[in-house]
Structure 1
Amino acid sequence: MTDAIIAHPRVEHMPPAAVALAVLLHALVGVGIWWLSSLQPTESQEEPIMVMFDSSPSNVGLQDPARTGPPAESQAASPSPSTEPSREPEQQQALAPAQPSNEPAQPSQSSQAMPQPEPVPTLPIYEFSVPPVPEPPPAPTSRDFPKPPAAAPRRPVQRTQPMPPRPAPPAQQRPAAEAPALIPAPLPGPNPADQIAGRGRQRNDYLSRVFRQLERYRVYPAAARDNNLGGRVVTRVTIKRDGGLIDARIDTSSGVPVIDQAELEAIRKAAPFPPVPNGMPGDPVILVLRMTYGPPRRGR
Structure 2
Amino acid sequence: MTDSPRKPKKGWSWTFRRAVVFSLVLHVVGVFVAVVWARADFKPPEEERIPVQLIAELAAPQVTIPPEPKPVVRPKEEPQVADPLHKPEKKYEPKPPEPKVEEKPPVKPPEKQPEPPPVETKIGDLKSEVVPKKAPERPTLGDDPMQIEVEGPPFEFAYYLKQVRRKLATKWSVPAGSLLPGQETKARVYFRIQRGGRIIDAKLENESSVFLFDQSVLRALEKASPMPPLPAEYEGEWLGLHVWFVEESQ
TM-score (norm 2): 0.36
**Structure 1 or 2: larger helix share?**
1
- Which is higher, the Rg of structure 1 or of structure 2? 2
